[in-house]
Structure 1
Amino acid sequence: MTGQPPPVVRGAVAVWFALAAFLLLENVVLWLRREELERAAARAGDDPAVIPGLLGQLTAVAVGFGIGYGLFGWLLRRGRRWARGVLTAVAVLHVLWIVLPGAGAVNLVTLLLICLGLALTWLPGTAQWVKQH
């Protein structure tokens, strides 16, 4: 069956895409604040030379989650039933990544987007859409 997905599916996909974009934007902001982060590390008695390496690791994680949300969100829009499970797994890993070290204010936005995306992904309208494909 072809055609446009229902609004609930388009909403879910939009949230997953927005989350991917937010992660990448958040990462760009961290790189723009690199010197400030290095000064803060030096004030705290830590080695500021480790900041670029940490930012590189954060970039890799953000790109990984961003690709996951974007790719599997796109597959959800195309009606792939299994994409809901994979999106859920990616979201659970992401929540663990956020919560275990301690969530901050920016992470609250990420957590809210994850919750909204999961809610829309598992609503009956989405289930019906993927069942038809």
Structure 2
Amino acid sequence: MTEQPHAAPAPPAPPPVVRGAVAVWFALGAFLLLENLVLWLRRAELEQAAVRAGDDPAAVTGLLGQLTVVAVAFAIGYGLFGWLLRRGRRWARGVLTGVAVLHVLWIVLPGASAANLVTLLLIAVGSAFTWLPGTAQWVKQH
């Protein structure tokens, strides 16, 4: 019989505050993708609104494409850096904050909507959890 190599010990589970922060960042990414899907499902309605406003309805598809790229980029950012935060990467907190600041600017500069308020709330909660003392202590240990 041959001996099996010993597996590396599992890293300790992060504290609840870190799991909460990561859950909020993941939820935000999922919300962005869902919100974008809803826009695509309402494309015909948006094209009709463009016609009523005297705009080219074909431009709606291009705009939705651009919004999709942005939503996917932010969702990947929140997911990836949230995962790295969960793994104890200290610098992930700063990058998440940077992504969140860019996202807030993306939302606030053109104008706010009800869906944007949900996004802003999730960003605020995720940022707060990310910078709580329990999270700082977790990343200092790694």
Q: CA deviation at 1:32?
A: 0.1
Give 2:76's aligned residue: 67
**Shift, 1:2, TM fit:** 2.8
Distance 2:73 2:86 in 1: 20
Q: Which runs of 5+ in 2 are unaligned?
A: 1-9
TM-score, normalization: structure 2?
Answer: 0.93
Matches of 1:14 and 1:29, distance apart in 2: 22
Higher helix share: 1
- Percent identical across equivalent pairs? 83
In the alignment of these two chains, the number of paired residues is: 133
Matched residue, 1:21: 30
Provide structure 1 residue ranges, at least 5 long, that are not aligned to the other structure.
none
Cα distance in 1 for partners of 2:77, 2:21 equals 14
Runs of 4+ in 1 over 2 A off after TM superposition: none
The code of the aligned residue for 2:73 comes to G
Alignment correspondent of 2:133: 124
Determine which of 36, 48, 58 is the counterpart of 1:39. 48
Q: 1:6-48: per-residue Cα shift (whole Å, max 9, x none)?
A: 0000000000000000000000000000000000000011110
Aligned-pair RMSD on alpha carbons? Answer: 0.9
Who is 1:107 aligned against?
Answer: 116
Q: Residue type matched to 1:4 in 2?
A: A
Residue matched to 1:57: 66
Q: For 1:121 and 1:8, how far apart are their aligned partners in 2?
A: 8
Larger Rg computed on CA atoms:
2
**Separation in 1, partners of 2:42, 2:90:** 40
1:11 alignment partner, one of 4, 20, 31 = 20
SS in structure 2 of the partner of residue 79 of structure 1: coil
Amino acid at match of 1:79: G
- Structure 2 residue aligned with 1:93: 102
